Homo-oligomer: A and B are copies of this chain.
Amino acid sequence: MTTIQPEKISLNLFKFVVVIPIFRGNSMTEYDVLIVGAGIIGLSTGYHIKRRDPKLNVLILDKLGAAGQGSTAKSVAAFRCLFYSRTNFALADSSAEFYKHVQNDLGFDLKLRWAGYLWFFDKDGYGKMRPVLEDLARRGFQYKEFDEDEIAKKLDICTDFADDEEAKLMSLGDIYRGILIPKAGLLDVDSLVKFYESEFLKLGGKIQYNTAVTRVIVEPRIALGMPGEPYFWQEADVVGVETNSGSLRAKKTIIATGAWASQLLDPIGIECFIKAKKRQVFSIKANTEALKNLLFTKEFTNAGCLPFTILPKPSAYIRPAPEENALWLSYADDFPRAFKIEDDPQPEENYYRYGLYQVVSKYFPQFAGCQPFSAFAGLYEMNTIDGQPLVFEENDLIVAGGASGSGILKADSVGRIAASLYNGEEYTMLYGDRKFKVSDLGIKNRSIEPERLVI
């Protein structure tokens, strides 16, 4: 028990002050909207808010020196439009359609490449996936199925580990079926960032780089001008942020800081359910005939390269990077990978050596002896409730994020939904005139159809 010194306490709140309630907004210039984070979600949100009302005074802040340099830059920049969950499908498909529109109609090259997703399943996994796929087929979705022999022949890979004791010890799944999702592919994330950034600026939006937000400022609605406000009996709201170069006020503050969100939200007691998980990507140069043949295979699509390819078990994946003559290897590991916020996450040599290399080279002998020429690591902003994006408002603060590794492939939709929430609308129109209920991505009335087609 702490003993409080009685002499230090004066008990009459109103004794020392002539109470002149100070109503907000008279003091200094305020922005209409402050967006913290110039990653893909912050940029898309800023763009759609300005697009809807160009008169608004919108400022995006980022701690780094340019747009999209945080986790956005570490994305593998793949997208797919086949999802079981109607929520996921709406968010992803309309974002992809918008990116197509940007490239085809607006003439802004996003380097979209419809390389498809090629998904391998072992017998057990395929058995579980079959009813899901049949459902999707009934709903009119297109995909193609390949059996193990076709796959082995088309890619010159190993699909069966019956005689491989090592593979058995590693519990690798045999490839029993492959599912090709044609409406899926790759894009260039820098170009997508540039699109949103330049359009936002064209509409009169402002961006301030190298500005680290240190805290969110909360003030009482009716300030009494006394020390330590707000007291708990005062209604209070977010009125802006403190940065390394001074305070900034705004009518609405939007947190789009991805994996770092809880660093700003925990101190004001707002739960965003976002935790950071490191993801690592290792890039292999296609400098042998076998790897070149693999990377530039024409067996599956007209895109001129291998589809984004997912192994059966564990579901490590290969992301073709034809522009740089490389194949990227990665895996989204779960338990016991830590939830941990890091400012500069690093790839781990052993993660490739004992992890990705061992798994991938068992299926793809083309990788035998391959070493990465480069590697990078980023943070997924995991929404630990359901892995889907979150867009919600509390006390004049909006949070947009939690896409859990799907930020690029859902960014346009999430930005539109955040803009609608800002505008106080019940529904938003996603690209392609698809109506989406804003509160479905919120916390209180969250309504998300669970995904059954998970990598």
Interface residues of A (CB under 8 A from B): 1-4, 6, 8-11, 13-14, 19, 21, 166, 169-172, 218, 222, 224, 226-228, 230-236, 266-271, 273, 275, 277, 282-283, 314, 331, 333-340, 346-347, 349-355, 357-359, 361, 369-377, 384-385, 394-395
Q: How far is the CA of A347 from the CA of B2 in the complex (A)?
A: 8
Contact between chains at B349 and A232 (CB < 8 Å):
no
Kindly provide the distance from the CB of A158 to the nearest chain B CB, expressed in whole angstroms: 16
CB atoms of A275 and B266 under 8 A apart: yes
Given the complex, which residues of B lie within 8 Å of A335, measured CB to CB? 218, 236, 268-270, 394-395
A2's partner among B171, B236, B340, B376 (CB-CB below 8 A) is B376
User: How distant is the Cα of A14 from the Cα of B165 in the complex, in angstroms?
Assistant: 11
B222 touches A2 (CB 8 A): no
User: Is the beta-carbon distance between B266 and A338 smaller than 8 angstroms?
Assistant: yes
How far, in angstroms, from A355 to B374 measured CA to CA in the complex? 57
A180 to B273, CA, bound (A): 37
Least CB separation from A265: chain B residue = B339
* Chain B hits for A230, CB < 8 A: 336
- What is the CB-to-nearest-CB distance from A362 to chain B, in angstroms, rounded to a whole number? 10
| Residues of the B chain whose Cβ atoms lie less than 8 Å from the Cβ of A373 | 3-4, 6
Instruction: Name which of A10, A226, A384 has the most chain B CB atoms within 10 A of its CB.
Output: A384
* Contact for A355 among B170, B231, B333, B354, CB less than 8 A: B231
Q: A171-B233, A233-B359 are in contact. Are A266 and B336 (CB under 8 A)?
A: no
Please give, as numbers and ranges, the residues of chain B lying within 8 Å of A235 by CB-CB distance: 171
